[in-house]
Structure 1
């Protein structure tokens, strides 16, 4: 086996394959030159209802934004002694994205808001206590740019909007895909995107290689359910939740799987995915709902099957598949046509000149970390080609 793996690595080097099992970097963080500080000058402020409001605009460069979306960073947080205060984060239409109160802010010195689906955010402060102890600065903004990199397409792209699929298995696909969510995390002045899926009442699962730093990963991580395009082609979002803690994790070289606890608990409409320990066989049809590039949910189902070659066979913890993905699809569940999870997408390629390269999915019996099985050590790389 050692000789075979070395031979395969040599072949890949000659062919110029580029390995990749990476999230998609889709947003940048920019400083506000003069932070917006609360409390401002007290003149004119009252302690009933709204006491302060400010519009924060994203410094969008024309042509560089893929869709209206931004996050705002609140820093140097100080909370009052009592609870008669809250901060509302809304879009420019007045739709409240989240409410920040003591339950959310306690013990924190800073926080990134959930994403606002516009190029400006309305930050509003309410309550008497806000005038007697609440303090914070708005010092950074994260906003997206268009730079989708090719990865993992097998032949030509067959990716479609999930809710546009009308095949014979559309009901099963729709139900299964409701478990799938977009995950994003801010780290080192960029925001990266992966895919996750619900596996318990308050648990989601994603790829371990999407976890940049276990120490503070959850501090900036958000998960979007039901993020898709409507009948008019406009992106809409269901529930947005925060990461609370990393429950369990298996290394990228093993199962490449991490379980997160989220809050609040996702709505019952979002299915809890079910696993089967049985691996798909060569040629078995599959489908993969996913969020490539952090975009509204896409589906790979056409020409999406298990397939093996000499490269994928070198990975004892994974199998090969022909389902189309892009960067940011990492962590997406691979379903069989019974709606069971039979894998989790973990790796593909980034060579735009080579599109007949198989992708990798983790073997199903390694995915459910609650069983205590967290993968097997192997000397083979976790990437496909």
Structure 2
């Protein structure tokens, strides 16, 4: 729920978010804005929202004021209550570089609707700009803001933030923020990566992954599989 600081008018809005180790949720800054006229006054996270009737879903309160945020990188990390991480687990983040038409996937709630997965023709563009921005052609809509772009090893490598893709225009693209840039700025997410690394099984050899430092930006490996029939298995690291 967003409130206009000038008029007092309140309006509902929806985005996508991910559970992070330490009882946090990751989304875009523009979903929980801390500047401008609109400010969040109430927020919640709906987990396992798989059907329109909401059957089987569960809601958790989210602090509307993020612990960390960046308008430039368009990310926000907010505290979530109710033991959501203990019940559902948390995503895995990695500072890898999905370059060269790398195949990706995105799990999101377009238009605030039940969870879907975009994978067909979902890839990073060969031509990329310098800096933190990642150009991709994964199909999204409003409400998909704050969704992670996952590598085939079920690791979040970028945070989707803006549309612009035109299926009829092969040069068009959506934009995301590289996780390497976000991790470099976020102490909360750095701690989450360290926690996940401590709990994870032994990593592949450096020769297979291009390095074993989770905070170092390295070319993305092709290890790991994907259970397309169970999207939650990605989020839970299974």
Q: TM-score, normalised by structure 2?
A: 0.67
CA deviation digits over 1:167-203, x for unaligned, max 9? xxxxxxxxxxxxxxxxxx3433321111110112310
Q: Match for 1:317 among 116, 120, 132? A: 132
Matched positions, count: 180
Q: Tell me the CA shift for residue 301 of structure 1.
A: 0.7
Q: Match for 2:12 among 191, 204, 215? A: 191
CA distance in 1, matches of 2:102, 2:167: 27
Where structure 1 has 5 or more consecutive residues not aligned to the other structure, the ranges are 1-184, 373-385
Q: Match for 1:225 among 24, 42, 47? A: 47
Q: Match for 1:326 among 125, 136, 141? A: 141
In the alignment, structure 1 residue 236 sits paired with structure 2 residue 58: no
Name the structure 2 match of 1:288. 106
Conserved? CA contact 1:195–1:328, under 8 Å: yes
Where structure 2 has 5 or more consecutive residues not aligned to the other structure, the ranges are 4-8, 192-238
Q: Name which of structure 1's ranges 350-359 and 325-334 shifts more when overlaid on structure 2.
A: 350-359
Secondary structure of the corresponding residue to residue 84 of structure 2: coil
Q: TM-score, normalised by structure 1?
A: 0.43
CA distance in 1, matches of 2:151, 2:162: 19
Q: CA RMSD in A?
A: 2.7
CA distance in 2, matches of 1:329, 1:308: 23
CA deviation digits over 1:53-86, x for unaligned, max 9? xxxxxxxxxxxxxxxxxxxxxxxxxxxxxxxxxx
CA distance in 2, matches of 1:275, 1:350: 25
CA distance in 2, matches of 1:189, 1:218: 9
In the alignment, structure 1 residue 210 sits paired with structure 2 residue 31: yes
Q: Tell me the CA shift for residue 337 of structure 1.
A: 0.5
Name the structure 2 match of 1:358. 173
Secondary structure of the corresponding residue to residue 293 of structure 1: helix
